[in-house]
Structure 1
Amino acid sequence: MSLSFTHETLPQRVVFLPDANQRVAEEVARLGARPMVIGTKADAVLPDAPHYRDVVMHVPVEVAERARGFAVENDADVLVSVGGGSATGLAKAVALTTGLPIVAVPTTYAGSEATNVWGLTKNGRKTTGVDERVLPRTVVYDANRTLSLPVDLSVASGLNALAHCVDSMWAPRTDPINQALALEGVRALSAGLPQVVAAPEGIEGREQTLYGAYLAAVAFASAGSGLHHKICHVLGGMFNLPHAQTHAVVLPYVLVLNGPAVPESERRLNDAFGPEGLHGLRERVGAPRALRDYGLREADIPAAAAAILAVVPESNPVPVTTEILTDLLHRAWAGEEPK
């Protein structure tokens, strides 16, 4: 079979090593002299720099405006995000209007640090976009920084990364390169997450999970946002559901819906997951089960289905209807088996 595709690789410097405090300072100095640190638990990072700590999930517009004002007041010339997707997302919101470069120091497996996607929430609606200004110039990965992430949040965050991989297999701009990255991401995450659960203080499992999360995010940045992410962005923006847990719950339902329509991609995913598959992995790590556990009401489902239908990618492997979305959301709300 002949190959025909266009692939774009985002320009980014990645530093992966343990005990990276000094390296963070060095990477910041490559880009600026007046850093501003964004994060709720970032006191040990550049302690003499001004710290902005008002980090809120889904990046409300008013929080972004305050952070932008803080950057101007402190004459910042480089942003340093320390934390999960919310901290990275807030740094991106500041960079979107100021053009300031970002050094990202992730403490979860969210993957936002490896994408040029920004998101802002206003009046219950989450808007996302793509802009080169928000792509962190440098990412410093230090698995030791994930040790404080509790096991249940590690599991949810790691499954969020798996969702990046799965969505990348059939997203609007998917190609053989980001599919290869996604499949290696699935392999690494499937190996790392059970180790995190079995030995939370161990570093090897967290390194594998962090490595897989990076590959997942690179694949997702290239392939674009598929049905899974459209569903989760609507649920997060409309009902303020927690980001990682929502992705962790929804993932198997979208995989069961789309997989049979793309049998080769489904086969390659099954090979990457290994004999246990996604179901077995979720059982081993105690994955989140039901959206009702995180604040979604059954009465919210019709409005959610209508909002999701409006943003379903045309290239989704399966035609999607209101009925299909309603059934999927009901099952995910109740924690029933995917069908």
Structure 2
Amino acid sequence: MEKKEKFIRNKEKSIQLIRFIVQTLFALLCIWIGIEFSQFIKFLETNGTAGSGYRPPGVEGFLPISSLMSLYYFLQSGIIHPVHPAGFFIFIAIVGMSLVFRKSFCSWLCPIGFLSELVGDFGDKITRKIFKRRIKIWKYLDYFLRSLKYLLLAFFTFSIFSMSEIALAYFLGGDYNIMSDVKMYYFFANISQTAFIVIGVLFLLSIIYRNFWCRYLCPYGAFLGLLGFLSPTRIKRNTSTCIDCGLCAKACPSFIKVDKVITVNSDECTSCMNCIDACPVENTLELKYIASEKKINKKLVALGVVIIFLAITGLGMITGNWQNKVPKDVYIKLNKNVNSIGHPMSSEDIKKLNEESERKAK
């Protein structure tokens, strides 16, 4: 039987207040961007006589599919497409965060993740009061539902990576992509009864089952979870000092059985460090570099997440690739018929453009 070391109480300060502050500030930034964008919509609707002609580039962070297409276009052509360039840099920043600190965007910056967390905390209080515990979905059903976000990711990835450079340029420069953020605004501003019911159901499910959207349906989170396997950092458990209290597993919002593993390799780990804060024994749960086994200060994660995001998005700003190059009069013109602008490309269109690209390559 393994000899346990002397119990030394963990007196390290929690990182959760700092994480909450970072989440709140980023959520407020997103709200501010939303307010500015609503004024831009008013500008379009009044033909430039009211509202504001300033279109906040940050809104492009809510267009992950377009951003992934821009990234793939850049890899093919070496060109940052002039429509939604801010989305390109925001996407790169989020990828960078995941490559360093796993799926940290989800627990440190994502406004949907922040909202899900608040709803989950509220739901935990209710379920613990009624059922005396957190509600977890049956294990095999959980595996099946978790696969849905990866199926969605596979669909989007296959659709995008089957497109040639010409096809990507055609789509990215088309009316649909130009107005995609405007169409997104109108979707929520004039939400249909069906969409409202779907969102309401997801909200209720998130109260009962913590992080329902993030855990089962978010393809963005699935992508970042896969990237996290390339991260040089992992949460590790020292079995010689662990007292098997199980508090780390109870604290994990992703239901990872931290108390049963030596190294947390799960794709659901978001580097929120709830488990580390919950551990009552010093030097038992720590975030470490895989190669060197060197401990990483929790504050370094907070600082690193913010610096990576600001540095990469700042690069877009200083290189002149932040504001898009679409003239205001084009926006005003397209907005008059925004509801009639549909998706421009069918699978047959993509096939034809790919064939054209192959002919030109020859």
Question: What TM-score range do you get, normalising by the shorter chain?
Answer: under 0.3
- The structure in which a higher percent of residues are helix is 2
Larger Cα-atom Rg: 2
TM-score, with length taken from structure 2:
0.23
- The structure in which a higher percent of residues are strand is 1
If asked which structure has higher relative contact order (CA below 8 Å, sep 6+), I would say 2
